[in-house]
Amino acid sequence: MKILFVFLASLICQIAWAKTYIRADAYVEVKSGKTIGNAIIVVEDGRIESTKGNLNDAGPDDEVIDLAGKTLMPGLFDMHVHLIGNKLLKGAARVQESDQLALLAGVENARKLLMAGVTTVRSLGSSSYGDIALRDGIRAGYVIGPRVFASGPALGITGGHCDNNWMPRERDIRNAGVANGPWEVAAKVRENIKFGSDVIKFCATGGVMSKGTKVGVQQYTLEEMQTLVSEAHRRGLIVAAHAHGTSGIKDAIRAGVDSVEHASYIDDEGIQLAVENGTYLSMDIYVTEYILGQGIADGIPEENIAKERTVGKIQRSNFTKAVEAGVKMVMGTDAGVYPGFADSPKQLSRMVKFGMTPAQALQAATINAATLLKKQDEMGSLEEGKLADIIAVAGNPLEDISLLEDVTFVMKEGRVYKR
Ligand code: ARG
């Protein structure tokens, strides 16, 4: 009996995980917004075992990764992406893409995000449940990509921003998330949950990239939004509202959404409501540069370009106001509207340009996002016990935020993807 016990105990010791020691010049402690010098982070079984490691403790089976000259920080979170589809297809051309081909394009989009240092994304709307399949495929190890929190099809009114208005009536094309009236909306939330959604996305107002919608005009009524949010929250899902227009933003916040996406025409009352309700804003202030630059050459229809010309400017000045008022913020870029998914971290420097400190921008892209997802105990900072999502840049990102545009090392859950 005793011999058996000793044997089992020694077996357990032997199959203990080999550890990885990552040595770097410093790491960013995102909560305090400070760097801690001479970092040695110890990773075991996909998690951070210690942030105060000692290389003398490394055993013969352990790995030491030497990142001299680099600063470590938690992997980035992009809280607004559209993973599925070939994003070079614009307007009506998108309708011709099969769900299967769109998913294969999504595999490549996901890989690019991960390689750019984005280890967690929230997928807010795909024309099919492809984003749910991609999430599961990444989890299963079939393909590589960030950890995905996926919405599946976004809910919206008939003819609204979350519908598909590119084809004439006889083609009978509508988006899978179309639902009108409180009970249809509740049923659609239930359907999305049935097919695996982690989060509910809906369109509260018109948008820039859709046909025939006005950004300022509210689409769902307050009553529809209240039903949607209570149904989702009762089932434990968070809710993201696409809202550019002033009244739609405020009704979405009153209805209790967890985040408002875009928030372009938010007014002082909306800012106040967001502060009072603890609502996160996810303002995609980088994408304007793509739409009004390369987007024109890429064939974005004039109708959409014209809308962007007014929205972009106002969104940026309202971003500054919201930051000054102390609204909670996450980084959401709308990757997918711009096809180069690796550009996601470019938004960080724009967030600093329009009013955040570098520390605030990093918090928006890490711990704030983890908190929005209700996963702040699992991810979003380099702390003992959390998942080992670790990236590195050359130099101190608190001094030069644009360093995040060149992430040289990517680890997700303890596995190295880029080095
Ligand atoms: N998906 C959004 C929409 O179509 C993109 C908005 C882009 N413009 C901006 N200024 N953020 O409405």
Give percent of the chain above pLDDT 70.
96
Angstrom distances, CA of residue 265 to CA of 260, 293, 319: 12, 22, 10
Cβ 82 under 6 angstroms from ligand 1: no
Q: Look at residue 419 and give its three-state secondary structure.
A: coil
User: Each residue of 271-304: pLDDT tens digit?
Assistant: 999 999 999 999 999 999 999 999 999 999 999 9
Please identify, by atom number, the ligand 1 atom nearest to the C-alpha of residue 315.
Answer: 10
Mean pLDDT of the chain: 96
pLDDT for 129 equals 98
pLDDT for 46 equals 98
Please identify, by atom number, the ligand 1 atom nearest to the C-alpha of residue 283.
Answer: 11
Residues with Cβ within 8 Å of residue 107, at least 6 apart in sequence: 134, 137, 143, 145
**Segments of the chain assigned to CATH 2.30.40.10:** 16-75+382-418
Residue 4 clears pLDDT 90, i.e. is over it = no
With beta carbons less than 8 A apart as the criterion, state whether 102 and 138 touch: no
Cβ 205 under 6 angstroms from ligand 1: no
CA of 59 to the centre of ligand 1 (A): 51
Q: Which of the four CATH numbers 3.20.20.150, 3.40.140.10, 3.20.20.140, 3.40.1410.10 does domain 76-344 have? A: 3.20.20.140
With beta carbons less than 8 A apart as the criterion, state whether 213 and 156 touch: no
Residue 7 clears pLDDT 90, i.e. is over it = no
Please identify, by atom number, the ligand 1 atom nearest to the C-alpha of residue 210.
Answer: 4
Paired strand residues for 39: 24
CA of 219 to the centre of ligand 1 (A): 16
Paired strand residues for 28: 35
What does the CA dihedral 349, 354, 357, 361 come to, rounded to 10 degrees?
A: -50
pLDDT for 165 equals 96
pLDDT for 398 equals 98
| Per-residue pLDDT band at 15 (split at 50, 70, 90) | low
Q: Which burial class, exposed, middle or buried, applies to 279 when counting CB atoms under 10 A from its CB (0-12, 13-18, 19+)?
A: buried
pLDDT for 393 equals 98
Q: Look at residue 352 and give its three-state secondary structure.
A: helix
Cβ 209 under 6 angstroms from ligand 1: yes
Rounded to two decimals, what is the model's pTM?
0.96
What DSSP state is assigned to residue 75?
P
Cβ 284 under 6 angstroms from ligand 1: yes
**Mean pLDDT for the stretch of residues 33-43:** 98
- What gap in Å lies between CA 373 and CA 418, rounded to an integer? 26
With beta carbons less than 8 A apart as the criterion, state whether 264 and 250 touch: no
Cβ 311 under 6 angstroms from ligand 1: yes
CA of 326 to the centre of ligand 1 (A): 23
**DSSP H or E segment with residue 29:** strand 19-29
Which of 334, 347, 351, 354 for a ligand 1 pocket mutation test, highest count of atoms within 8 Å of Cβ? 334
Angstrom distances, CA of residue 231 to CA of 48, 65, 198, 202: 36, 47, 13, 13
pLDDT for 33 equals 98
**Mean pLDDT for the stretch of residues 59-82:** 98
**Mean pLDDT for the stretch of residues 215-229:** 98
- What gap in Å lies between CA 219 and CA 210, rounded to an integer? 13
Cβ 121 under 6 angstroms from ligand 1: no
Q: Which of the four CATH numbers 3.40.30.10, 3.90.930.12, 3.10.28.10, 2.30.40.10 does domain 16-75+382-418 have? A: 2.30.40.10
Paired strand residues for 34: 29
With beta carbons less than 8 A apart as the criterion, state whether 348 and 369 touch: no
Cβ 315 under 6 angstroms from ligand 1: yes
Residues with Cβ within 8 Å of residue 140, at least 6 apart in sequence: none
pLDDT for 91 equals 78
Please identify, by atom number, the ligand 1 atom nearest to the C-alpha of residue 307.
Answer: 8
Cβ 287 under 6 angstroms from ligand 1: yes
Residues with active-site annotation: 201, 334
* Phi, psi of 104, deg, nearest 5: -65, -40
- What gap in Å lies between CA 113 and CA 20, rounded to an integer? 24
**Mean pLDDT for the stretch of residues 342-354:** 98
Token readout for 211 is 């046909």
Please identify, by atom number, the ligand 1 atom nearest to the C-alpha of residue 209.
Answer: 4
**Segments of the chain assigned to CATH 3.20.20.140:** 76-344
Residues with Cβ within 8 Å of residue 55, at least 6 apart in sequence: 21, 23, 40, 64
- CA proximity to 69, closest of 41, 42, 37: 37
Amino acid at 259: S
Cβ 337 under 6 angstroms from ligand 1: yes
Which of 82, 208, 333 for a ligand 1 pocket mutation test, highest count of atoms within 8 Å of Cβ? 208
Which of 311, 313, 331, 346 for a ligand 1 pocket mutation test, highest count of atoms within 8 Å of Cβ? 311
User: Each residue of 88-116: pLDDT tens digit?
Assistant: 998 788 899 999 999 999 999 999 999 99
Ligand 1 atom 11, closest CA:
284
CA of 134 to the centre of ligand 1 (A): 24
CB atoms inside a 10 Å sphere around CB 122: 29
Cβ 405 under 6 angstroms from ligand 1: no
- CA proximity to 337, closest of 81, 15, 19: 81
Residue 246 clears pLDDT 60, i.e. is over it = yes
pLDDT for 8 equals 54
Cβ 240 under 6 angstroms from ligand 1: no
User: Each residue of 382-403: pLDDT tens digit?
Assistant: 999 999 999 999 999 999 999 9
Ligand 1 atom 5, closest CA:
208
- What gap in Å lies between CA 175 and CA 154, rounded to an integer? 8
**DSSP H or E segment with residue 311:** helix 302-324
pLDDT for 3 equals 58
Please identify, by atom number, the ligand 1 atom nearest to the C-alpha of residue 206.
Answer: 12
Token readout for 60 is 């013969």
Residue 5 clears pLDDT 60, i.e. is over it = no
pLDDT for 93 equals 87
**DSSP H or E segment with residue 367:** helix 367-372
pLDDT for 315 equals 98
**Mean pLDDT for the stretch of residues 316-339:** 98
User: Each residue of 126-182: pLDDT tens digit?
Assistant: 999 999 999 999 999 999 999 999 999 999 999 999 999 999 999 999 999 999 999
